[in-house]
Amino acid sequence: MVSKRLVLTFPHKLLDKPIVYQLVKEYDLVFNILQARVMPNEQGLLVLEITGNKENYAKGVKYLTDLGVKIQPLSNDVRRNDARCTHCGVCISVCPTEALSINKKTMKVDFDLAKCIACELCVRACPVRAMEVKL
Ligand code: SF4
Ligand code: SF4
């Protein structure tokens, strides 16, 4: 038996398809939706906990990737290096969960780790590499 937390990114063309339901029906997997969101670029983002036997889990993941769903493991290891951050705000527009937001009082960028799903989009977007993956 395996149980994993995954970040699934769906292309726009798959948003109205009952894809996750197929994981239950065809692969006997149990899932728990931790977060669901349509991002500004019209991709869908789902954070799921998927549980099932190892073979079915592997088949289910293959089914999703064959359809074009991007899958990343969920980890809570993204941090901000505050000494580097210039509060430029670039990361706010890419963050799908509003873990990064402008603080209207200080006009600085706040990072709320509790909302972070470790998708790493900000890591790639930050021009000064202030968002870091802790290994
Ligand atoms: S993109 Fe980087 S430097 Fe700019 S606010 Fe975000 S973390 Fe700070
Ligand atoms: S990794 Fe960055 S972009 Fe992704 S949820 Fe966390 S703060 Fe937002």
| 131 CA → ligand 2 middle, Å | 9
Q: Which of 105, 43, 102 minimizes the C-alpha distance to 69?
A: 43
Say yes or no: CB of residue 78 within 6 Å of ligand 2.
yes
Mean pLDDT in residue range 26-41: 84
Tell me what pLDDT residue 53 has.
Answer: 93
Residues 7 and 33 occupy one common structural domain? yes
| 76 CA → ligand 2 middle, Å | 10
Ligand at shortest distance from the CA of 122: 2
Tell me which residue range forms the domain holding 64: 2-73
Q: With cut-offs at 50, 70 and 90, classify the pLDDT of residue 125.
A: very high
Q: Identify the residue whose C-alpha is closest to ligand 1 atom 2.
A: 126
Q: Write down the pTM of the prediction.
A: 0.62
Q: Identify the residue whose C-alpha is closest to ligand 2 atom 6.
A: 116
120/102: higher pLDDT: 102
Say yes or no: CB of residue 47 within 6 Å of ligand 2.
no
H/E stretch holding 59: helix 54-67
Which of 47, 73, 99 lies at the terminal end of a domain, its last residue?
73
The neighbour count for residue 133, using CB atoms within 10 Å, is: 11
Q: How many domains does the chain have?
A: 2
CATH number reported for the structural domain that contains residue 96 in this entry: 3.30.70.20
The predicted-structure confidence for 70-82, as pLDDT tens digits, reads as follows 998 876 678 999 9
